[in-house]
Structure 1
Amino acid sequence: MFRCIPELANNAAGAQERGNLSDAQAFYLALHPARLVITGEPGAGKTLLAIHLLLALLSDRTRHRSDPVPVRFSLASWSPGLSLKAWLAEQVADRFATEGISRRRAVALVERRRILPVLDGLDEMDADDTPLARSRAYQVLEELNSYQDTGGSAPAVLTCRTDLYERLARRQVRVRDAARVRIEAVSAIEAVTYLTDRTAAPQRWQPVLRRLAGSEPAHLAAVLNTPWRLNLAATVYEQRDAELAYQRDPADLLAFTSAEEAGEHLLGLYLPAASALHPTAPDRYSVEAVRRWLGVLAQGLPKARTDLYLHELWQLMPRRVRIAELLLVLLWAALLRGWGQLAKPEASEVWTIYTVVLIVPFGLRAWTRRVVPRAAQIGRLGTLVGLRLIGRRIVGAGASGFLIGFLAAAALTLVSGVIDLVTLSLDVGKQLFLLVSCTLVFTGLSLPAGIIFGILSALTGPITREPTSTTPSDSGRLVWAEKWRRLTYGRSIGTIVEPRADPHHAIRHDLVVGFGLIPLMLLPGGLVLTQVVQISLDSWTLTFGDVAVFLVLGLLVGLYFLTGAGRRYLVFLLCARGQLPWRLGRFLRWAYGAGLLRVSGSAYQFRHRELQEWLGAHDPRNPDSTATAPASPGATS
């Protein structure tokens, strides 16, 4: 249930006094302009209401193709200094890059207001002690008020905690021309109903239920006034021991004298209770290990961040991971140099030069901050857009291969000519023959290499931060009809979103591409490298051993240079030994099954921001830092 809270001025017309989840779409569509601000207490269900509205708008059968497509954006990723339009375009281009949405197309979609931004988490943008004038939340509200269309203020949806929004509103900073609703707290009667229906033994809760149903429930009602806190309490007091006896008595809640103490108590017991209630593997990890590992993740997140992307976890210890990658580069270079020396000892100087030349870009790559995972896009073979893309890549890469081969031949001819000129033995005919011969050799190798590279690069693509599983991935340029989308991309909204609601998607596919498809690109590259080295040694003959050596070297180059995200994740796991489990992905899946984490698109998040803050505030290395205990704990069977 939510209630409309009129502001002193600049309210959207058509707002009803009250509403609930089932009629959220009707409430929103009646607004003019279509601007809605959803506020509520932590755990009240602000994001849930926004997602429900988003899905209702998408599934509306009366929806016109000219209506804007609602897309959920996490404001925690907003970059200061960017205008709202520029940030939205950047987000759309990043999310839908693999579906054919270019940066230019994304800008056009935003400029034409074909995107309905559902901006989630205004309160998650800044630390609590950030002055309002320097806060990102203030900048977003200013940008949102200048976000206009031809009819005035452009449609938008925003979620924010009540206390922050009211604090801003008292300074006359709010979303203008909008309807603001506040999700009402769970009443004592609703809490009684929930706990009675949720638990298998309602009689255990009678002391709590009587207090809630009384005339003055006081702090107990304040503790159990949101869906999150109710679920927290029910989970904690439903834990049983090996003999199926309940381990805790709900009456313990009556011993606390403040809502803060009771909340701390529940959060401290949530991890062991949720772990014990895991549906398939309750005993896989000890409570101490779970608390320590989740604490490391919570403390490593910046205060305004909630998303745990596997390919970005290395930023928890960036310096250590980069140094480890540089050491890996040196090890790789030593192996490359040693392999070449053993295979062709007469080319010692040449190997030294090529090793040094390769170390520089590899070392720079090891120090880069942004590493984008890649995925195979084999489905493009059966789509019109995919075939057009493959054709363009073949032409472009083939032309590039020919040009590279010709330039390499010209450069080699020029160097040879300069040497002959210095030694006074210049022979124009010889240089012309060298140019033609090198061009034929180099282009004969680099042209097919470029074509293969073009095909394989078209069948792989970057994976960016995906929308959540409830965010529309309209691959038909976001607004085309479903039939054309199926013909063009071979997919629909329902078939493209579900496989991507997996946080392990990015790392898994990056490793598959790196160790599977991409090395194939380097096999032709190895042939080119073979011929370059042979010519450097004034040798035009190739043996089977030479080709084998350089094919292996091509594979080594590909496996390192083209597996950035997956390789960095593995290096991070090595660097995090002792702080996080080696099989981190398995643990995160387990924590999701236990209800400690949730999945938002391709990221994990803590089940609730309050849980993340609690874990971050407690030292994960101190197992004795436990929840506040009631005065006289008890247990019932």
Structure 2
Amino acid sequence: MTPAPSGTGEPAGLDPARAVQIITTRRSGAGRRGSGYRMTGDVVLTAAHVIGDAASVQVRFVRQDGSVRDVPGETVWADAPADIALLKIADGSGPDERYAVDVPPVRFARVGRPVDCAALGFPRFKLRRDAASPELGPLTSYRDTHHALGQAVPLSNQRQGTLEIARLAAPEHDQDPDRSPWEGMSGAAVWSDGCLIGIVSEHHRSDGLGRLTARPVHRWYACLSPARIGELGELIGLPLDADRLDRLPRPSPPPPPDGPPELREAVRKLAATVHDQWDREERRRKVHDPMPLTVRFRLADAGLFDHWANIRRSAPGTDPGPLPLAGRLQHIVRVYRSVPSARLVVLGAAGSGKTILTLRFVLDRLGDRTPDDPVPVIFGLGAWDPRSTSLRDWMCDQLVRDYGLAARDPDMPGRNLAGALVDTGRILPVLDGFDEIASGLQGEALDKLNATTTPLLLTSRPAQYAQAVAATDVLSGAAVVQLDDLTLGDLTDYLPRASRPGVDGGLHGTVWEPVLARLGTRPRDRGAHNVATVLTTPLMVAMARTIYSDAPGRDPAELLDTTRFRTAEDLRKHLLAAFTPTAYHRPPTDSDPATGRRRRRHWDPERAHHWLGYLAAHLTRLDTADLAWWQLGTTLRRSTRVLVVGFLAGLSFGVTTAVGNLPVDLVATSHGARFALVRGLVVGLLHGLAVGFAFGMVYAFISRGATEPSRFRVRLFGRRRERRARFLPRFTVGLAFGTPIALVLVLVDRGVVEPLGLADGLDGGLRGALMFVPGAGLGIGLVLGIVAWLEVPSDIRSAVRPAALLNDNRKNVVFHMLVWALVFGLAAGVANGITDGPLRGFLAGLVFAGEAAFGCGLGYGLSWTAWGQWVALSRIWLPLTGRVPWAVIAFLNDACERGVLRQAGAVYQFRHAELRDHLAQTFRERDSQLPFTDR
């Protein structure tokens, strides 16, 4: 059977180029003529009685110039009681054969009240008495098309179960009492409002010439079994459940969605951002290059899903029976929509295509989404701890992390936009990787999911899901499907087309031909068995393609070598091991999404493999699938992190203090250059030690987990009332932190610098100390308060990519440093200018501005912000010790372009858990031989 196309365009209404005439010869008696409609590129829908007892069938197409072309047709599906038949037509050859190209899918509907309708067919009263087409020879007659316009009346013919088409323009004459002038119109598709509502089946003479009878689409469900409906679904895209048919006439346009404009705008932006994110990922994975790899699914084994009565939301006391849920990747949205409970579980082995299926589900849902439909969002379940966090709160946290939905909900001050979207049903959770939840928590996670009736799509490996069901219960209201293994036919269709053409430019003679031939002719051979066993999942096929099709000079025939690969597991390990080096022997194939320019960086394959191994081991230690840039340093020992952050904070403050003291002592004192230099070095060293120790202790206090990146950006104007509540808490923190640090610095100057004979007389004595300590505390509090005052939640589009979130956090730290410089520089400049003149005031302002910006501001950033800790640990310490490259983000983005990693919102993930685990194991095996390791 030929499946209906899934992505050829938007569903379309009546297209005259797709209407065809059916001409049959019969085994006995005269032949019949009828009408039909092309549903896909090579499948025509008609009435079963038109081709009944046919010895041969011809499908006649009317070209744009009025000429015709006859093509043989073959019956591929028919049901006499329902009076439906499908013909498969031969492909056309030549650019003018319009019938041979892909066509948009068809939308189906049922009629509830009278509606206007139309049908295009070839009735007998359109018989013409001259030649119709030079190609067909000296014809003396032909039938032309008739565009019948009328009204579908659903309440007529209820006992017969047909649809009456009334108010037709009747033929003027009915001269033959034995033949209807409408003869030949049978099989014509009946359309209304862009939807197919039935096919013409007969003309009752007693109804008059202005009426026809059609078989309505919704009656097909009563005449056909679920399995037969499923076959029609594959062939022509018929929905699997009558409830999924459009309803005509359509209701009046709904009012604008409820909620404030901010919420509607957030939904719109989220939908666009999610689509862009996963469309880019699908292109990177070459899902459609050159064709999608076949991924099939079927109904899972009994015992894993709920009662069909609960799944189908049937009335009490009824047992509706199972739904036909078998299909292919391109049918996943249609299958999901056929489940009334809107809860579907997809099971599949490692690498079986669950991730690709979720991508296709999200993109297809977004492709025909209306403003009122929820936005499908993929959530990686491996990061959820059901013991400490509810599903709702965890999803809100993920939406804030990945899409920046931290702004306040206008309707509820205590709730952010993420919570508003979840609570109002505007999010459709696509929960990927149930099996990645810690094994001891999967049963509890299933209990938490059963506490909701939230529509969802969930993926898992079969064994882990079955264990959770056995320990607790089935997922309430959820249907369950399972992905099938790939077949030899799938490999034969895909691998040659994904490789370089053979010597004749065709599919023969490709590098895969010997391997596929062995699999077909000697399947029991051990080498062939190993290959057939491993290449049953899209993951392994994609890796084999990368290694042997995309990289020149590699021969996949080596996969059959049983001396190298004694078992299928040996072969699997070979593909996992060879994938990364192969990916780094070729340049990246994508463009930088930020600039649109193609970026080509070349990394040493061996070093890249080592760095990826460290990152994989890092994720293993954290027991997560999410590679977050702000967590890269968290697997270092805490003492190492505290020392690095404290040293860099002390260094920044000490250097700026030492440099800043030089011009002041040279201009404002008469001690000379040597004194200024010595005093600057001593003060810088002592102040750096004190401040470094203080910032190190602050980091030690807050570093029990990774510091989350800020979800705010700075905006100078607008919406000040929303910011006032944040000023006082930040001001208090700054005052409490700054006052003791200022006191320590005064004590250092009085207790150490002065006894060394390095006092410059510029500290103002006791009065200056009494003013400096509270003044510094107030200044630090004012800095933090001002920054809090100016912060607003980040825009959703700046939070969807890791690099964008990193850039926003860097800008925040730079702005922090500017505010530190402005507040302390102005205060010191004005104070000293009043007492000691403008020159000394100007110098003091510069010195305090520099010390505040590069000493306090940078120290604050290093110890208190995610970006600062990223710089200290991931941009300095980890590259210095060889764990990651110096250009970390560039390396991670490049790994995404090469298909090793993927971007999932604000974090990175390995392409597949199996690849991550392999790299982590390889790294651990070599780790004992490498220097600079923290174990």
Same fold (TM over 0.5): yes
Q: How does 1:128-207 map to 2 (within 5 A)?
A: 130=439, 135-147=440-452, 153-171=453-471, 173-200=473-500, 201=502, 203=509, 204-207=511-514
Q: Contact 2:336–2:342 at 8 Å: present in 1 too?
A: yes
Inter-partner Cα distance in structure 2 for 1:445 and 1:299: 44
- When residues 387 and 213 of structure 1 are mapped into structure 2, their CA distance, relative to the original with a 3 A threshold, is farther
Q: Contact 2:632–2:870 at 8 Å: present in 1 too?
A: yes
Inter-partner Cα distance in structure 1 for 2:399 and 2:354: 23
Inter-partner Cα distance in structure 1 for 2:363 and 2:540: 26
Residue 372 (str. 1) matches residue 708 (str. 2): yes
Hey, what does 2:340 align to over in structure 1? 32
Q: How does 1:34-113 map to 2 (within 5 A)?
A: 34-61=342-369, 63=370, 65=372, 67-79=373-385, 80-97=387-404, 100-101=407-408, 104-105=415-416, 106-113=418-425
The structural deviation recorded for 1:521 is 1.6
Hey, what does 1:362 align to over in structure 2? 695
Hey, what does 1:291 align to over in structure 2? 609
Q: Contact 1:401–1:447 at 8 Å: present in 2 too?
A: yes
> Could you say what the CA RMSD is over the residues aligned between the two structures, in angstroms?
4.4
The structural deviation recorded for 1:155 is 1.4
Hey, what does 2:923 align to over in structure 1? 619
Moved more, 249-258 or 315-324: 249-258
The structural deviation recorded for 1:565 is 2.5
Inter-partner Cα distance in structure 2 for 1:172 and 1:39: 18
2:819 aligned to which of 518, 521, 528: 521
Q: Contact 2:712–2:791 at 8 Å: present in 1 too?
A: no
Q: Contact 1:220–1:254 at 8 Å: present in 2 too?
A: no
Q: Runs of 5+ in structure 1 lacking a partner? A: 148-152, 409-436, 463-474, 476-495, 626-637
Q: Contact 1:399–1:447 at 8 Å: present in 2 too?
A: no
The structural deviation recorded for 1:239 is 6.3
- When residues 511 and 141 of structure 1 are mapped into structure 2, their CA distance, relative to the original with a 3 A threshold, is same
Letter paired with 1:90 = D
Inter-partner Cα distance in structure 2 for 1:239 and 1:116: 37
Question: Between Structure 1 and Structure 2, whose CA radius of gyration is higher?
Answer: 2
Hey, what does 1:222 align to over in structure 2? 533
The structural deviation recorded for 1:159 is 1.0
Inter-partner Cα distance in structure 2 for 1:580 and 1:445: 39
- When residues 290 and 325 of structure 1 are mapped into structure 2, their CA distance, relative to the original with a 3 A threshold, is same
Residue 277 (str. 1) matches residue 586 (str. 2): yes
Hey, what does 2:870 align to over in structure 1? 569
Moved more, 206-215 or 94-103: 94-103
Inter-partner Cα distance in structure 1 for 2:683 and 2:613: 51
Q: Runs of 5+ in structure 2 lacking a partner? A: 1-295, 313-321, 503-507, 590-598, 670-678, 739-770, 930-935
Q: Which has the higher helix share?
A: 1
- When residues 272 and 3 of structure 1 are mapped into structure 2, their CA distance, relative to the original with a 3 A threshold, is same
Q: Contact 2:498–2:549 at 8 Å: present in 1 too?
A: no
Identity %: 26
Hey, what does 1:428 align to over in structure 2? none
Q: How does 1:259-270 map to 2 (within 5 A)?
A: 259-270=568-579
Q: How does 1:402-441 map to 2 (within 5 A)?
A: none
Letter paired with 1:136 = L
Instruction: Report the 3-state secondary structure (helix = DSSP H, G, I; strand = E; otherwise coil) of the residue aligned with 1:181.
Output: strand
Q: Contact 1:276–1:282 at 8 Å: present in 2 too?
A: no
1:457 aligned to which of 773, 791, 798: 791
For residues 589-630 of structure 1, what are the alpha-carbon distances to aligned partners after superposition, in whole Å with 9 as ceiling and x for unaligned? 3333332222222322222221111111113774999xxxxx
Q: Contact 1:279–1:593 at 8 Å: present in 2 too?
A: yes
Structure 1 moving runs of 4+ over 6 Å: 280-283, 344-357, 398-402, 444-451, 531-535, 537-542
- When residues 38 and 261 of structure 1 are mapped into structure 2, their CA distance, relative to the original with a 3 A threshold, is same
Instruction: Report the 3-state secondary structure (helix = DSSP H, G, I; strand = E; otherwise coil) of the residue aligned with 2:633.
Output: helix
Residue 236 (str. 1) matches residue 547 (str. 2): yes
Hey, what does 2:306 align to over in structure 1? 10
- When residues 68 and 192 of structure 1 are mapped into structure 2, their CA distance, relative to the original with a 3 A threshold, is same
The structural deviation recorded for 1:223 is 0.5
The structural deviation recorded for 1:352 is 12
The structural deviation recorded for 1:188 is 1.3
Inter-partner Cα distance in structure 2 for 1:306 and 1:399: 35
For residues 187-222 of structure 1, what are the alpha-carbon distances to aligned partners after superposition, in whole Å with 9 as ceiling and x for unaligned? 111011111211114533233212333465633222
The structural deviation recorded for 1:224 is 0.4
Q: Contact 2:709–2:866 at 8 Å: present in 1 too?
A: yes
Moved more, 70-79 or 292-301: 70-79
Residue 312 (str. 1) matches residue 643 (str. 2): no
Q: Contact 1:75–1:119 at 8 Å: present in 2 too?
A: yes
The structural deviation recorded for 1:567 is 2.5
Letter paired with 2:442 = A
TM-score normalised per structure 2: 0.50
Inter-partner Cα distance in structure 1 for 2:491 and 2:688: 69
TM-score normalised per structure 1: 0.71
Inter-partner Cα distance in structure 2 for 1:447 and 1:597: 42
Q: Contact 1:311–1:506 at 8 Å: present in 2 too?
A: no
Instruction: Report the 3-state secondary structure (helix = DSSP H, G, I; strand = E; otherwise coil) of the residue aligned with 2:350.
Output: coil
Q: How does 1:537-548 map to 2 (within 5 A)?
A: 543-548=841-846
Instruction: Report the 3-state secondary structure (helix = DSSP H, G, I; strand = E; otherwise coil) of the residue aligned with 1:28.
Output: helix
Residue 322 (str. 1) matches residue 642 (str. 2): yes
Residue 552 (str. 1) matches residue 850 (str. 2): yes
Letter paired with 1:559 = L
Residue 608 (str. 1) matches residue 926 (str. 2): no
Moved more, 108-117 or 170-179: 108-117
Hey, what does 1:416 align to over in structure 2? none
Q: Contact 1:192–1:213 at 8 Å: present in 2 too?
A: no
For residues 401-460 of structure 1, what are the alpha-carbon distances to aligned partners after superposition, in whole Å with 9 as ceiling and x for unaligned? 89x99xx9xxxxxxxxxxxxxxxxxxxxxxxxxxxx99xx99x999997996466434xx
The structural deviation recorded for 1:180 is 0.7
Inter-partner Cα distance in structure 2 for 1:539 and 1:395: 39
